[in-house]
Chains A and B, each alone.
Chain A
Amino acid sequence: MPLRPLTGTRERDDTHMTHFLIRRIFWALFLFFVATIITYLIFWVIPTNPAQLAAGHAASPEFLASIKHRLHLDKPIWVQYYYFLENLVVHGSLGESFVNRQSVDSIIGKDAPVTASLVFGGAIFWLSLSLPVGILSALRPRSVMDRVTMTFVLIGISAHPVWIGLILSFVVGYKLHLTPIAGYCNFWPGAPGAQCEGPVQWAYHMILPWITFMILFAALYVRLIRASVMETMSEDYVRTARAKGASQNRVMVQHVLRNSLLPVVTILGMDLGLALGGAIFTETIFNLPGLGAQVINAYGANDLPVITGVVVFSTCCVIVFNFIVDVTYGFLDPRIRLA
């Protein structure tokens, strides 16, 4: 949703913030309905029999029917959707898995930290690489470094995460024995049945997934940052700053960076929100029990409540991160109607 720039003089009162929040909430509700209805429609179109999967192949027809009844699968799809909504609104619950009767809330609660570790750790990796590289190649376009970087960027953009992940896992993990090949350790110690735990083991196991993310996203971000910095450097106000006698460093830090970060913040917010919904490939390759891996399993088992749960969760993530982006914008850019 585009934000209108502030046109008058100072009119930053609370009504703007209230209006903004109301618009946001309506937008969130709309997104929620669109996303969940589409999920149910897809499920309705695909010929499946989740009751059979839940009951096992040798189940008697009576048993199968009772399972169907218990899962509400004997009802039309819109009734199922109504049950889903009722459950969510009245009980605040996303329902139970068809397969093992586990609550979807607890599945997401268990898996989301894994995906969050991957996404946020990865974001720190890719930003700490792409910010300096993007800025430097913008400062020296067509230099050797810029050309080398752009070649690397091309590889990063063209490569698939599965390929990058497998190569890393094989070379660094299997051949060089520098890192684990796959697997996940809890950050907080104390989980029952965990083979390994604690921040050190956690980071040690996450390092290859993070690097995979870094290669994947840094490529895009280097290009984005380079283009944004170059565009900002050709702005009239940058020339004004140089005409004032400002040094190159001062021009970059005070005039170029903040302005060129605006588009980066937007894209970062969208990417983080989307990636939290499940980094399917990376989680699969490194055997991380996150949301992406959970969704893959749920698709295989036609486990509609789990799929819907993850869809709802990622919709929320996208909405929340868009909101964070808008608030950040208000701080970065005084022209935006928020502060």
Chain B
Amino acid sequence: MSSLKVTDLNTSFRTDDGIVKAVSGVSFELREGNTLGVVGESGSGKSVTFLTVMGLLDPRQSQVTGSVLLDDEEILGASAARLRQVRGRRIGMIFQDPMTSLNPVKSIGWQLEEAVLIHNDITRKAARQRALEILKQVEIPRAEQRIDDYPHQFSGGMRQRVMIAMALINNPEILIADEPTTALDVTTQAQILRLMKQLQDEYKTAIVMITHDLGVVAELADDVIVMYGGKVVEQAGVDDLFVKPEMPYTWGLLGSLPRLNASGGRLDQIPGQPPSLLNPPSGCPFHPRCEFVMNVCRQELPALERSTQGVEHLFRCHLDEESRARIWERKKAGLVQETAA
């Protein structure tokens, strides 16, 4: 089977106001059958990273460097024909908004059949059979009757099921899900996540789960990347990340999670706005919002450092080991106390 290895990926856009560095120096690896959670605020570069991987950005407006290896084959800068063979066949993708991600003038069945026919030399009838089969797998009720319906006749949750079906119809090795539950209501979110998990077990698909919801990450991911300002700021196995996060932005993210059993009080929030990518802050991208900011933070971007916590736990922060440990203990105590009270 296969793995996806991204090394030093940079993506920038030419805009009328200047060059926007949406992704800078991102590296990670997705192992077969694993789930990688990618967390960050809007504009942190998480979606762009994976649009770049898929080659879905307009080459006239974007500039890309780095390396994307799919099973040791370089697909960054591969020919359009080669990329088309990868897209939809080896890597499937689900997008955030199921309401707008399906073509409104084509029936559900037609759109699913298209996905099959692009990559397989079979008859439309066989493709329809496959479409019906996968619609049943994503639990569309009365699939035989609904296959000829149009997207507007489906609810949001049902459309996202159709999107998942379409992404998985060719049994890809990797599924990239770009905030698949953000546009859905909470009960539907849980259903969709369960469905993805179930299909992953069945098809042995590796999943990239792009989200800003740490709850989703805790539930599904094996590994996590935290992105901020187009950079990876922390990277770890999911247990490591939740047990001992190593930098202030991740602390902030964890602190801002709502807890059902917590006693009143306000949720922690990270003050300020995400950084402008047009005029990025000097040094550490998080320094303007960081409560532990030091002089060095304004001047130097901290390198990705290895945590003492685990070999595969990397983070960017200028704080020394002892302070980080002390601050996290205090934060954790706060979180726990709040929960206990």
Contact = CB atoms under 8 A, between A and B. Distances in A.
Contact of A237 (B84, B101, B119, B150): B101
Interface stretch (B23-31, B88-96, B291-299, B302-310): B88-96
Interface residues of A, number: 28
Interface in A46-95: none
A334 B150 contact: yes
A239 interface: yes
Contacts of B166: 240, 244
Contacts of B88: 243-246
A258 B105 contact: yes
Contacts of A6: 152-153
Interface in B65-106: 80, 84-89, 92-93, 95, 97, 100-106
Contact of A242 (B85, B87, B153, B167): B87
Given A236-B95, A259-B103, A243 B54 contact: yes
A241 interface: yes
Interface size on B, as a range, is 20 to 34
Contacts of A242: 56, 87
Contacts of A239: 56, 95, 101
B149 interface: yes
A332 B163 contact: no
B118 A245 contact: yes
Interface string B217-258: 000000000000000000000000000000000000000000
A231 interface: no
Contacts of B118: 244-246, 250
B97 A335 contact: no
B39 interface: no
Contacts of B105: 258-259, 332-334
Given A244-B88, A250-B118, A334 B152 contact: yes
B192 interface: no
A5 B152 contact: yes
Contacts of B106: 254-255
Given A245-B85, A245-B119, A254 B104 contact: no
B103 A241 contact: yes
Contacts of A158: none
A9 interface: yes
A10 B146 CA distance: 10
Contacts of B149: 9-10
Interface in B245-280: none
Contacts of B163: 240
A209 B80 CA distance: 45
Interface string A115-154: 0000000000000000000000000000000000000000
Contacts of A10: 149, 153
Contact of B150 (A247, A258, A335): A335
A229 to B, nearest CB: 15
Interface of A: 5-10, 235-237, 239-248, 250, 254-255, 258-259, 332-335
Given A243-B93, A259-B103, 12 more contacts: A6-B152, A6-B153, A9-B153, A237-B100, A239-B101, A240-B95, A240-B166, A243-B54, A244-B114, A244-B118, A245-B89, A247-B84
19 contacts: A5-B152, A8-B153, A10-B153, A237-B100, A240-B95, A241-B103, A243-B87, A243-B88, A244-B87, A245-B88, A245-B89, A245-B115, A247-B84, A248-B80, A255-B103, A259-B103, A334-B104, A334-B107, A335-B152
